[in-house]
Chains A and B, each alone.
Chain A
Amino acid sequence: MEENKRLVKVPTMAEMAANGEEPEILFWVGCAGSFDDRYKRVTRAFVQILEHIGIKYAVLGTEESCTGEPAKRAGNEFLFQMQAITNIEVMNAYNVKKIVTACPHCFNTIKNEYPDLGGNYEVIHHSTYLQQLINEGKVRLQGGGDFKGRRITYHDSCYLGRANDIYEAPRDVLAALDADLVEMKRIRANGLCCGAGGAQMFKEPEPGRKDINVERTEEALATLGQQGDSVIATACPFCMVMMTDGVKNKEQEENVKVFDIAELIAQAEGLSR
């Protein structure tokens, strides 16, 4: 088994440019995808999918820097624009046209807020991208793989959902798993935030009755029921942290796992075992 795999060398924009090449897509990894131990696994799963389908992609590597999103939501417009303008200079120098990212916060910022500052790109969230791959038959998921019949509930990310009206793509991706998909009460446009947006990720919550992620996790657990071996699916690094913490808080780690949709696809496709 060991031999039937190959080492991936993730291409960078700098290398491509040095060879006079341009990738079809830039994969914007984001800070969580680069540094957060849990979300690095999502980044790796997504790269495995990119490698599997054989698309010409590249990353910025160490040239990537925070989009400035958390600074902007926290009210630090100055720092946000500093980051944005610097990133835009880098990407424009590489003539970047199309960006895919696994972070809804990066996605929203680059797609909606960079154009005002001179950064005009086609920006796709990885949920939409995965949906396209499935629709085009590039990812086949024969028989649904590992997740066939398992109970999965999808937690809407605010910056994907309400912020950008993307509700179907992640659900379509999950539908391809042939799993037992169940919906929470507050979904889509009425979805409840995980509690991490607006830079809450980086601070303690204000005093209250309960933490927001606990409220949301309780709803997810009630939806999933007691059968165990079920999954909360997310499509955002912050949601993933919050839901994972929520499941821990409720001491349900044994019964409920939190996965990003890219991990589910990579696993079901047999790419990451």
Chain B
Amino acid sequence: MIKLENIIFLIVAAAGIGLFIWQIRKIRKNVLMGRDLDITDNPSERVKKTLLVAFGQQKMFKRMLPAVLHLFVYVGFLVINVEVIEILIDGISGSHRVLGFLGPVYNALMFINEILAALVIVACAIFLWRRNIIKVPRLSRGVEMRAWPKVDANTILIIEIVLMFALFAFNIAGLKLAELEGVAAVGRYPVSSLFVNLFGNNPETLHTIERAGWWFHIIGILAFMNYLPSSKHFHIIMAFPNVYYSKLLPKGKFTTNPAITHEIKAMLDPSYQPPTPKTDAEGNPVIERFGAKDVEDLTWKQLMDSYTCTECGRCTAVCPANVTGKLLSPRKIVMDTRDRLEEKGERPAIFAPNHYKELGVERVHVTEENTLLRGYITPEELWACTTCNACVEACPVGIDQLSTIMDLRRFLVLEESAAPASLNTMFTNIENNGAPWAFSPADRFNWSEELYVPNKN
């Protein structure tokens, strides 16, 4: 039977989903601001990696305690979503626990749901404690971890806890109502049954609580969904495509710029015919920057990385530069990319970038330049990188922080000749001597002089 309540629900749900789609389109537009990059190779290997790293949480298990707690929340999210589907159907059609016909399966599902919901509350509480009381360094330190990122992380955890409580309120009230009506409850509720008398036994109150719990949970979910695009929590969606499109090649293989290859080949061999350059709509050749100065110089995958980042700081915690007190933090590189991308492109519902200049005296000396390079990320950070790939290895969601650092470095060197003086000396040595040090190439083979080996007997 369709009631006014169902119609209201339908409108609320449609508005929530509509708003979400509107935000997703903005983010898609932002990501597509990036340079083209063809990643259509090895689909089966990519699926396998996605199953292992994204679905299977493989990289999370480098740190056991957070991995287990995160697993509770992750599995809780996946399984409780089945109940959310039911809630949606109930809301639209006016049915009550429509999946109840599944019988024992439904009982098991609700049973697992309740256990998971309780574990989610425990895990989120421990997460809050880690962030705010014991202040785990990777979660609390760093210039990038202030203002919005801090509020954001705590908001998510609190919302998750509140949502779980709403679910319990709904279940407890429903359970008590069934008991009062003398009918068997649909489903099994190990946690709620412990608190079955919590709300007394006034059917009217119980009914109100059940409806309120239901409404709160569903509106909470819709609101949460629309909060995602402004939050690190967006990783629950982006982790999957981002791992799928992550690099399968050896981590040591950096990209090669074919435009430079053509230039050199033409220089070495005047008869060499480079391919005709790409042209824009008016037929003028497109001159691409070498390296990256701003977000549109990065590839769409690098921009997608920035929307996948969950700000966990595992990259920064293993960065040799960062652990020895240098300014570089791979997490900041990724977060800055997202901030700058939204400043330049489209904005989701909440837009709260880290503007380091507004934060008072800082070690990050950004300039007024309205670009990713220098406006957000300073050369000092970029030059501190040892390209050791520890950040890439540590990331649980397939982000390639190093590729962004490298592209920004390339711009500094190729477009601005702004490398540190000692590196310019190294370049000159390679050019003149074929070695990064100032040795004569004629001496290259001197090591072989006066070399003996024992005779074999």
> CB within 8 Å of B: which residues of A?
4-10, 12, 29, 31, 33-36, 40, 43-44, 47-48, 51-52, 59, 61-62, 64-66, 68, 70-79, 81-83, 85, 108, 111-113, 116-117, 158-159, 162-165, 186, 189-193, 195-212, 214-216, 270-271
A162, B444: Cβ atoms closer than 8 Å = no
Chain B residue, CB-CB nearest to A42: B447
**Complex contacts, A216 vs chain B, CB 8 Å:** 320
Number of A-B residue pairs, CB cutoff 8 Å, is: 246
A53 to chain B, nearest CB (A): 10
A250 to B435: give the CA distance in the assembly, Å: 30
**Complex contacts, A61 vs chain B, CB 8 Å:** 444-445, 448
Q: Closest 8 A-B residue pairs measured CB to CB? A: A163-B252, A209-B325, A198-B387, A65-B434, A75-B409, A208-B325, A193-B388, A112-B253
B447, A40: Cβ atoms closer than 8 Å = yes
B436 contacts A by Cβ under 8 Å: yes
A215 to B389: give the CA distance in the assembly, Å: 18
A71 to B386: give the CA distance in the assembly, Å: 13
Chain B residue, CB-CB nearest to A10: B448
Chain B residue, CB-CB nearest to A112: B253
Number of chain B interface residues as a range: 35 or more
A62 to B433: give the CA distance in the assembly, Å: 11
Contacts A7-B451, A190-B393; is A117 near B426 (CB within 8 Å)?
no
B224 to chain A, nearest CB (A): 34
A8, B455: Cβ atoms closer than 8 Å = no
B365 to chain A, nearest CB (A): 12
A107 to chain B, nearest CB (A): 9
CB-contact partner of B320 in A70, A78, A215, under 8 A: A215
CB-contact partner of A62 in B268, B323, B426, B442, under 8 A: B442
Contacts A74-B426, A75-B410; is A31 near B453 (CB within 8 Å)?
no
Q: Which of B203-211, B214-222, B302-310, B417-425 contacts A (4 or more CB under 8 A)?
A: B417-425
Q: Which of B17-25, B257-265, B330-338, B342-350 contacts A (4 or more CB under 8 A)?
A: B257-265
Contacts A77-B290, A163-B252, A164-B250; is A199 near B444 (CB within 8 Å)?
no
B414, A195: Cβ atoms closer than 8 Å = no
A35 to B445: give the CA distance in the assembly, Å: 9
A163, B250: Cβ atoms closer than 8 Å = yes
Q: Could you mark each residue 431-457 of chain B with 1 if its beta carbon is under 8 Å from any beta carbon of chain A, else 0?
A: 100111101011111111011111111
A75 to B133: give the CA distance in the assembly, Å: 42
CB-contact partner of B264 in A81, A196, A204, under 8 A: A81
> CB within 8 Å of A: which residues of B?
62, 249-254, 256-257, 260-261, 263-265, 268, 290-291, 318, 320-321, 323-328, 380, 383-390, 392-394, 406, 409-414, 419-420, 422-423, 425-427, 430-431, 434-437, 439, 441-448, 450-457
A71, B426: Cβ atoms closer than 8 Å = yes
CB-contact partner of B435 in A7, A35, A196, A204, under 8 A: A35
A10 to B320: give the CA distance in the assembly, Å: 39
CB-contact partner of B430 in A83, A190, A215, under 8 A: A83
B454, A271: Cβ atoms closer than 8 Å = yes
Return 19 A-B CB contacts under 8 Å, by A number. A31-B435, A44-B448, A59-B445, A68-B430, A71-B427, A74-B423, A76-B427, A79-B427, A81-B256, A116-B261, A117-B256, A189-B393, A192-B323, A202-B422, A204-B420, A206-B326, A208-B325, A209-B325, A215-B323
Contacts A5-B455, A31-B437; is A198 near B386 (CB within 8 Å)?
yes
A4, B412: Cβ atoms closer than 8 Å = no
A8, B434: Cβ atoms closer than 8 Å = no
**Complex contacts, B325 vs chain A, CB 8 Å:** 207-210
CB-contact partner of B451 in A44, A74, A82, A112, under 8 A: A44
Having A111-B250, A204-B420, one finds 16 other A-B pairs with CB under 8 Å, namely: A8-B453, A33-B447, A52-B456, A61-B444, A65-B435, A77-B256, A82-B264, A117-B256, A162-B393, A164-B250, A193-B320, A196-B386, A198-B386, A206-B384, A208-B326, A215-B320
**Complex contacts, B386 vs chain A, CB 8 Å:** 158, 193, 195-198, 200, 212
